[in-house]
């Protein structure tokens, strides 16, 4: 199943050198458009690759499905999630899913075998209110600040691993402050001589499937929002709904070793088409692929864009036409390999015969 999402994030037109929804090809061959990287390029490359294969009379041994889905950018609940749970999807009997990856600034294409799960954490502190001039312990603001300091240190320790080149973006826990909410409003702003009785902070956390999720939850409960400091926390429903782990606690990742023939087929196909594939990575954010991995299916995130700055969701998103055209060749090779693959049982019979 060659999967793609057709929705895009909004664009601030005045920050672009060309109109984001015109698909502008400039004089040096750059295709400027919202979605040129994320991920209309891929959907169109699938179509063109299939058209060319048909033109040459290629006969697939398997069905090849091209799927164009909505709503990825808003969580995919009415898109990939419902589709993955539908009878229509079940009826396809899918063996392998290809979904989006990311551009690569160097010559190696990137492939993703899992992704981090978003945890949206809100920490709330309560404490006795007091006069703005008074120094006392356990105010809501003071306790929330202690948490933020501790979270900031943890963030720095994770970031240091990336800066030192020891880990990739997708392999660490990222945590970023998304909002702060506290203070007693006044007609002109906030009351200044009052320490409020409640304070809240929200964080976007991304947890790799290889991380110890339980110990992170313990850290939140015991260190970042301890009840003995009159603090509480809640984790957004996203965390419960689709985590990086299956029901038995195993990380939801697609194998990239010899146990997964689809991985080797992809590696060979890319190489045969003249491309270079980098080391498989964990996707730093979320994609629709997680809904298919959730069902136990192998899913690989792959968008053939080498020598390209990462501009998804950015101003002036573009893809050079040469990279785009090269990507079509890459997909021709992949589709040919995938659609020709027949799984054999130990006695040589195909899986269907068995
Ligand atoms: Zn996307």
**CB neighbours of 192 closer than 8 A, spacing ≥ 6?**
132
Which long-range contacts does 185-194 make (Cβ < 8 Å, 24+ apart)? 192/132, 193/131, 193/132, 193/133, 194/129, 194/130, 194/131, 194/132
Parse the chain into domains and list their residue ranges: 2-114+247-340, 117-241
Q: Characterize the bridge pairing of strands 281-283 and 111-115.
A: parallel
pLDDT in tens, the chain (354 residues): 999 999 999 999 999 999 999 999 999 999 999 999 999 999 999 999 999 999 999 999 999 999 999 999 998 999 999 999 999 999 999 999 999 999 999 999 999 999 998 888 999 999 999 999 999 999 999 999 999 999 999 999 999 999 999 999 999 999 999 999 999 999 999 999 999 999 999 999 999 988 888 899 999 999 999 999 999 999 975 544 445 666 665 678 999 998 999 999 999 999 999 999 999 999 998 899 999 999 999 999 999 999 999 999 999 999 999 999 999 999 999 999 999 999 875 555 555 544
Task: Count CB-CB contacts under 10 A for residue 160.
Answer: 12
Q: Which residue has the tokens 């053939």?
A: 304
CA gap 159, 312 in Å, rounded: 22
- Whole-number pLDDT of residue 241: 42
Distance from residue 61's CA to the centre of ligand 1 (Å): 29
User: In the numeric block, which tokens belong to residue 20?
Assistant: 């984001």
Which residues are documented as binding site for Zn(2+)?
5, 38, 73, 100, 313
Give catalytic residue positions: 7, 72
What distance in Å separates the CA atoms of residue 320 and residue 298, rounded to the nearest whole number? 30
Contact 143, 125 (CB under 8 A): yes
Which pLDDT does position 354 carry in this prediction? 46
* CATH 1.10.240.10 given to domain 117-241: no
Residue 72 Cα to ligand 1 midpoint, Å, equals 7
2-114+247-340 is classed in which CATH architecture?
3-Layer(aba) Sandwich (3.40)
Tokens in use for 92? 């396809």
**Overall residue count recorded for the chain in this entry:** 354
Binding region? 5, 38, 73, 100, 313
Residue whose C-alpha is closest to residue 299's, from 94, 54, 87: 94
pLDDT confidence of residue 80: 97
110 Cα: distance to centroid of ligand 1 (angstroms): 14
pLDDT of residue 349: 52
| Token pair of 248 as six digits | 């038995």
Cα separations (Å) of 299 from 66, 171, 174, 348? 14, 18, 23, 26
> Which of 256, 247, 244, 243 is CA-nearest to residue 300?
256
Residue 106 C-alpha to ligand 1 middle, in angstroms? Answer: 20
Ligand 1 mean position to 140 CA, how many Å? 39
State the distance from the centre of ligand 1 to the C-alpha of 39, rounded, in angstroms: 5
């Amino acid at each position: 199943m060659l999967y793609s999402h057709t929705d895009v994030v909004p664009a601030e037109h005045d920050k672009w050198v060309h109109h984001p929804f015109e698909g502008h090809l400039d004089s040096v061959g750059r295709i400027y458009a919202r979605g040129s990287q994320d991920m209309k390029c891929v959907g169109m490359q699938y179509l063109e690759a299939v058209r060319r294969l048909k033109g040459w009379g290629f006969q697939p041994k398997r069905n090849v499905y091209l799927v164009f889905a909505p709503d990825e950018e808003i969580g995919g609940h009415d898109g990939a999630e419902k589709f993955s749970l539908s009878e229509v999807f079940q009826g396809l009997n899918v063996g392998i899913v290809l979904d989006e990856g990311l551009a690569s600034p160097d010559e190696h294409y990137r492939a993703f075998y899992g992704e981090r799960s978003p945890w949206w954490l809100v920490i709330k502190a309560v404490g006795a209110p007091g006069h703005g001039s008074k120094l006392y312990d356990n105010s809501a603001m003071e306790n929330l600040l202690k948490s933020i300091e501790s979270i900031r240190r943890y963030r720095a320790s994770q970031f240091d691993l990336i800066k030192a080149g020891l880990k990739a973006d997708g392999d660490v826990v990222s945590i970023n402050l998304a909002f702060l909410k506290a203070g007693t409003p006044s007609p002109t702003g906030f009351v200044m001589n009052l320490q409020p009785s409640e304070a809240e902070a929200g964080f976007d956390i991304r947890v790799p499937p290889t991380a110890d999720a339980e110990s992170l939850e313990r850290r939140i409960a015991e260190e970042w929002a301890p009840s003995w400091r009159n603090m509480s926390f809640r984790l957004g429903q996203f965390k419960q709904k689709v985590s990086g782990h299956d029901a038995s606690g195993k990380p939801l990742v697609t194998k990239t070793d010899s146990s997964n023939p689809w991985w080797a087929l992809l590696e060979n196909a890319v190489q045969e088409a003249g491309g270079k594939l980098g080391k498989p990575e964990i996707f730093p954010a979320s994609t629709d692929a997680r809904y298919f991995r959730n069902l136990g299916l192998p899913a690989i995130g792959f968008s053939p864009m080498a020598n390209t700055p990462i501009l998804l969701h950015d101003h002036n998103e573009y893809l050079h036409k040469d990279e785009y055209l090269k990507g079509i060749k890459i997909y021709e090779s992949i589709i040919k390999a995938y659609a020709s693959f027949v799984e054999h049982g130990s006695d040589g019979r195909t899986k269907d015969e068995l």
